[in-house]
Amino acid sequence: MDPTANTLRIPPEMLLYAEKHEIFDLMQSMLRNLIVDKPEDPIQYLITLLKRDSIGALTCKVQCQKQRACAQVQLSLSVPRIMLLGPPASGKRTTARQLCERTRAVHITEPGVLEGEGELAREAKWHADRLQEIPCELWVKLIQQRLSKLDCIRQGWVLEGIPHSRQEALLLQELGISPHHVVMLEAPDEILIRRRQCRRVSVCSEDGSEESQYDEKRVLSDDNTATRLLKYHQEVSALQRTFQNCLKIIKADQSHEDVFAQALSYIQRRPRPPAPYTPRVLLFGPPGSGKRLQAELISQKYNLVNICCGELLKAVSADKTSMGELIKPYLASGEQVPNDLVLQILTQRLSRMDCAARGWVLRGFPRNIEQAEMLKESNFIPNRVFFLEMPDDAVKEVVTLRAVDHVTGERYHSLFKPPPGPEVQARLCQNPRDSQARLLNRLSCYSVQVPALKAMYPDAVHVNADQDPRAIFETLESRLVERLPKCYSVLPSTQEPGSGEKAGE
């Protein structure tokens, strides 16, 4: 069945509600827990799971309100689940502590896991006291036991230096322990060895004051640094392959502040889940800024429905329908079609199954703030808005020098794409809309309307359109594919109440 010919209409409120409340992510999380835990009573299991997460979210909310009474902290069922990996002396401990301070997640270290109680912990300590390697299965069960405690469930966790190997990572995945983000620090071995050797500790002198001296015992005990580095390098490639879908590699041979800033920026971005996500893209720009080309490129690569409002009106007027007959006189006389008729035609097209399932990229509407308000009231709200910006002189050069071969339909430009020969040159004709007088009028209308449109879409991305089309597309694509950022928590010292990151930034 051709989805474009299907008369079934999908109300936009359905998609807006699902995205606002993250219904698809919730269903994915519930299904993942069912498959991992395999409960005998799935319904009761899901009820308990939802109650547990709701209690955790409520507790976190109360704590946040006590710490920041005037802040608006957004909470959801998801919490930080971060693995911080790296070689010895790469700064994992410092970065992990900073991440936990910012996100309020629980800091999980290897000594902390061994401090647990119970038979598993005693068995692991028995191996550790005898300087024996803890069996991998036992170690993974200890980690699972620690992460199943209520503080980790409510606040999330940061695993420092865990897992050590691909085998551990796979065993953790079998137990349903998978991270949302994996941050891996890396630095040259000579820098790491120098860091280990130059560490100082504060010791008390005879007069009671503190002074910084070399810790000789630490230096002597660090003779195995090279061995530890070698063991890490044997496992790092396999770990990168295991977590390639959620991995961020950060150079650790820079300041701790820079390392933390990059790590925080990464974990604040939610990874794209396989849940349905339908881009709704608006393209704005002056004449000649390349909206048509960029819309075609986006549509072709991501299978979005490419909608040009002007072309849609012409297609409707060509059909022998009541709406087509109604707008035909306006198009024939060159008058502007009334906004209510344009909106009615456009909303019918955007409500079709293909637009609801695949998403859409729209250009040519809205042209002013009134049309933008009408589109918003119809609940067709874009989640990506781009303004292609171009100087007026560049617009004139692009538009006034272009022409069309009326035989082949091929477009040519005197500077960028000249005709192949005098025969083609002779039959070129210019669109009357591209004359300098009409172009200046169109530019004037656009410049008058664009400030209000930019105010209507404050989170829009502004792109320099006076460059190679491939560079423009790469910029659009980079903002199109990423999900909206999500901060798990914010401390008073880092961000003012009520502020937030812009969509797609």
Q: Which domain holds residue 235?
A: 79-202+212-267
**DSSP output for 157-214:** EEEES---SHHHHHHHHHTT---SEEEEEE--HHHHHHHHHT-EEEEE-TTS-EEEEE
| Backbone angles phi and psi of 270, in degrees to 5 | -75, 135
The residue length of the chain stands at 505
Q: What is the pLDDT of residue 215?
A: 44
Q: What is the pLDDT of residue 347?
A: 92
Same domain, 262 and 188: yes
> What are the residue ranges of helices labelled H in 359-485?
369-377, 392-400, 422-426, 436-456, 469-481
Sign, CA dihedral 150-50-246-104, equals: negative
Same domain, 412 and 293: yes
Same domain, 287 and 263: no
CA distance linking residue 79 with residue 66, whole number of Å = 19
13 in Cβ contact with 361 (< 8 Å): no
Q: What is the number of domains present in the chain?
A: 3
Which residues, given as ranges, of the chain have pLDDT below 70?
1-8, 36, 52-78, 199-223, 270-277, 482-505
For residue 90, being part of any structural domain is answered with yes
Same domain, 370 and 312: yes
The reported pTM is: 0.56
Q: What is the 3-state secondary structure (H, E, C) of 35-82?
A: HHHCCCCHHHHHHHHHHHHHHHHHHHHHHHHHHCCCCCCCCCCCCCEE
Same domain, 255 and 329: no
Same domain, 63 and 104: no
Same domain, 87 and 60: no
Q: What is the pLDDT of residue 52?
A: 63
Same domain, 43 and 102: no
Same domain, 71 and 86: no
Smallest CA-to-CA distance from 142 within 114, 167, 166 is with: 114
pLDDT digits (tens, 9 = 90+) for 198-214: 764 444 444 444 444 44
Same domain, 123 and 57: no
CA Rg value for the chain: 30
Looking at residue 113, which CATH number applies to its domain?
3.40.50.300
Q: What is the 3-state secondary structure (H, E, C) of 438-459?
A: HHHHHHHHHHHHHHHHHHHCCC
C-alpha dihedral, 468 to 474 to 479 to 483, nearest 10°: 170
For residue 488, being part of any structural domain is answered with no
Within a 10 A sphere around the Cβ of 346, how many other Cβ atoms? 24
Same domain, 304 and 410: yes
pLDDT digits (tens, 9 = 90+) for 88-116: 889 999 999 999 999 899 999 988 888 87
Same domain, 433 and 450: yes
**Single residue among 29, 45, 76 that ends a domain in this structure:** 76
Q: What is the pLDDT of residue 223?
A: 55
